[in-house]
Structure 1
Amino acid sequence: MDKNVGGIDRTGRIVVGIVIAIAGIAALTGYWTAGAVIGGVALVIGAILLVTGTTQKCPINEAAGIDTTE
């Protein structure tokens, strides 16, 4: 798979991924009372955003024919 995530899309995925992952960890450790299920889901979504942002490859973009690289 070729790189298809770049520019503001990449930066946004990394920043939002970090924020969502931190919220998930906070929920799982009890610092935020959102519950374990919400915390787990947030952690997974945050991790997916971080991975797609750092690797610059997104299978959903690939399937949809979207390329945000510069």
Structure 2
Amino acid sequence: MTKNVGGIDRTLRIVIGLALIAAAATGTVGLWGYIGVVPLLTGLIGWCPPYAILGFNTCKTK
């Protein structure tokens, strides 16, 4: 798996993922808030399957 998620994209995914999980854990939103695990994991790993399928790449190449 080649990384296809760049710096700002990764940061936003991690922040949004954590916010959704925290909102679900505190009961602010329903159980659907745990969908925040998906952006959190893609942000931490740096690879997004839909990006790979569609040919997107926000990661700077060296």
Task: Compute the TM-score of the two structures, normalised by the length of structure 2.
Answer: 0.86
- Shift, 1:26, TM fit: 1.3
**RMSD of the alignment, in Å?**
1.1
Could you tell me which residue of structure 1 aligns to residue 58 of structure 2? 68
Q: Does 1:41 align with 2:8?
A: no
Q: Report the CA distance between 1:7 and its aligned residue.
A: 1.3
CA deviations 1:35-56 (Å, max 9, x no partner) are xxxx22111x210011000000
1:25 aligns with 2:25: yes
> 1-side partners of 2:21 and 2:54: how far apart?
26
Gaps in structure 1 of 5+ consecutive residues:
none
How many residues align structurally? 60
C-alpha distance after superposition, 1:2-35 (max 9, x if no partner): 11111110000001111111011112xxxx3x4x
Q: Select the structure of larger CA radius of gyration.
A: 1
TM-score (normalised: structure 1): 0.77
Identity of aligned residues (%): 42
